[in-house]
Every structure is written in structure tokens, then in C-alpha cells.
């Protein structure tokens, strides 16, 4: 072609397609970062903008932001140390007794054996079972399979109102070590053992709800009337 010949022209669409095919060749992309590197770069860029904006809005600039972050981390660490590892809260309490029926004396013996070895969680569990089984044996609670510690404490508290608060506290201790992931100590077991001993010495008074004397509050027995145990 001579210098006076017009330049070669290609229509727009064929030229664009030819360029796309050419640029799609691997040789043009060998030095490009991988998708992971691009994502990482985008994340760091976003993080840098975030900290930049936070530093601008925080008194003291970047140093103030660092101090705030350290304080927050210290508070989280203190809460973690105080409350322990988070555990999933059970949607419903499991039953109090989950094995073959045993007497209150057997549960007490098992509790004392665990306590002697310093196994306070197991000792608390067995002592609470001893409390409930003892109340069942004395007919202050109906024998009912599937009863939970909270249910037992609530029912026994109505029968023995003088001990209602301690019974509820004992049920909470039982639930904490059994389902809440908490650890009991010697003090927890000692309180529960003292409650068990006090309940053993409590003498129920038989009352009759059908016949009562308003002036004295004393009751009289009648044939076929229902009786309910209450603490003196």
C-alpha cells in the first residue's frame, strides 16, 4: 500500500469482538491478583475507611479509639471471667430423677460420698434428690415421675411455707449445676444438707379445710375430709 492509500477501517462491532477475544487470552492475566487477594484487598480497604471514620469521630483521634477498644475488651474479659463460658439455656427443665427409684437414705449416702471426694456438683444433685424423695416418703409430696426440681420446690413450698424460700433456692442450685453449666462449691452443698436436716425435723400439722373455727383458727376432723401437711 502506498502512503496515499486510505487507512484500513473495521466496523465497530467486529472490532469490539476482536478486542474482547484478544484480551481474554491468558497471557494478559498472568500477573493479575487472584479473586481471594482482590477480596482481601477490598476488606482491608473497607476496614481502613471504617477506622478512619471512627478515629475522626472519636475524641483524641486514633489514640482515643485504641483506648476505647481496650476498655471494651477489658470489660468483655471481666464478664467472661465472672459469668464463665456461656451455655445454652435449656428450653425446659429435665426431670429430677432419671434412673431407678432410690430411697432418700440412698441419695443421702451417695451425696455424702461425692462430698467426701470434693465432687460438689454431684453431691448437690444427690442431696436435692434426697430432699424430694424424703418429702415423698413422708407423704408431704405425691410420688410423681417426671417431676422437676422447680416443680418439687413449688409444691413443697405450699406444704411447708416456712421453708419455701430455701426450697426454691435449692432448686435453683440444682438447675445451675445440672443444666446451667455452673460449678457448685462446699458452701452450696452445706446449705442444701442443712435444709435437708431441717426438713427432717419439721413435724407436719394435719389441717382440715372443710371445718374450721374462725375465732381460734383450729380445725376439726370429719370423716372423709382431706388433710394437708403444713409446717409448724
Q: What is the pLDDT of residues 5-45, one digit of tens each?
A: 555 566 777 777 777 777 777 666 666 777 788 888 888 88
The confidence score (pLDDT) of residue 220 equals 32
The pLDDT of 181-201, averaged and rounded, is 91
* Percent share of the chain, pLDDT over 90: 26
pLDDT value at position 191?
Answer: 94
Residues 112, 192: Cα–Cα separation, whole Å: 12
**Cβ(129)–Cβ(97) under 8 Å?**
yes
pLDDT of 130 reads 92
pLDDT at 135 over 50: yes
| pLDDT at 173 > cutoff 70 | yes
Average pLDDT, the chain: 75
Residue 163 contacts residue 110 (beta carbons within 8 Å): no
What CA–CA distance (Å, rounded) separates 134 from 131?
Answer: 5
By CB neighbour count within 10 A (0-12 exposed, 13-18 middle, 19+ buried), where does 189 fall?
buried
Please state, in angstroms and rounded to a whole number, the distance separating the CA atoms of residues 226 and 206: 10
- Which DSSP symbol is given to 6? P
Distance from C-alpha of 140 to C-alpha of 160, rounded to nearest angstrom: 9
At 99, the pLDDT band (50, 70, 90 cuts) reads: low
CA 145, 147, 152, 154 dihedral sign is: negative
Helical H segments across 86-185, by residue range: 104-116, 120-137, 149-159, 164-178
Has residue 225 got a pLDDT over 80? Answer: no
* Range in 18-32, 107-121, 185-199 the model is least confident about: 18-32
CA distance 25 to 28: 6
pLDDT digits (tens, 9 = 90+) for 63-95: 766 777 787 888 888 877 766 555 544 444 555
Contact 167, 104 (CB under 8 A): no
Amino acid at each position: 500500500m502506498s502512503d496515499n492509500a486510505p487507512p484500513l477501517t473495521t466496523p465497530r462491532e467486529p472490532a469490539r469482538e476482536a478486542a474482547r477475544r484478544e484480551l481474554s487470552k491468558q497471557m494478559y492475566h498472568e500477573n493479575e491478583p487472584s479473586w481471594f487477594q482482590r477480596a482481601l484487598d477490598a476488606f482491608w480497604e473497607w476496614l481502613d475507611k471504617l477506622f478512619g471514620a471512627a478515629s475522626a469521630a472519636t475524641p483524641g483521634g486514633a489514640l482515643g479509639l485504641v483506648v476505647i477498644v481496650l476498655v471494651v475488651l477489658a470489660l468483655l474479659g471481666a464478664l467472661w471471667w465472672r459469668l464463665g463460658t456461656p451455655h445454652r439455656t435449656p428450653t425446659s427443665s429435665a426431670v429430677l430423677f432419671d434412673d431407678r427409684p432410690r430411697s432418700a437414705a440412698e441419695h443421702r449416702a451417695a451425696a455424702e460420698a461425692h462430698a467426701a471426694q470434693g465432687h460438689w456438683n454431684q453431691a448437690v444433685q444427690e442431696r436435692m434428690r434426697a430432699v424430694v424423695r424424703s418429702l415423698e416418703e413422708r407423704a408431704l409430696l405425691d410420688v410423681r415421675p417426671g417431676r422437676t426440681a422447680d416443680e418439687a420446690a413449688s409444691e413443697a413450698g405450699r406444704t411447708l411455707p416456712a421453708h419455701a424460700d430455701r426450697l426454691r433456692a435449692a432448686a435453683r442450685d440444682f438447675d445451675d449445676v445440672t443444666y446451667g453449666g455452673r460449678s457448685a462449691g462446699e458452701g452450696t452443698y452445706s446449705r442444701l444438707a442443712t435444709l435437708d436436716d431441717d426438713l427432717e425435723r419439721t413435724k407436719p400439722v394435719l389441717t382440715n379445710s372443710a371445718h374450721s373455727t374462725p375465732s381460734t383458727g383450729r380445725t376439726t376432723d370429719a370423716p372423709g375430709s382431706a388433710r394437708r401437711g403444713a409446717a409448724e
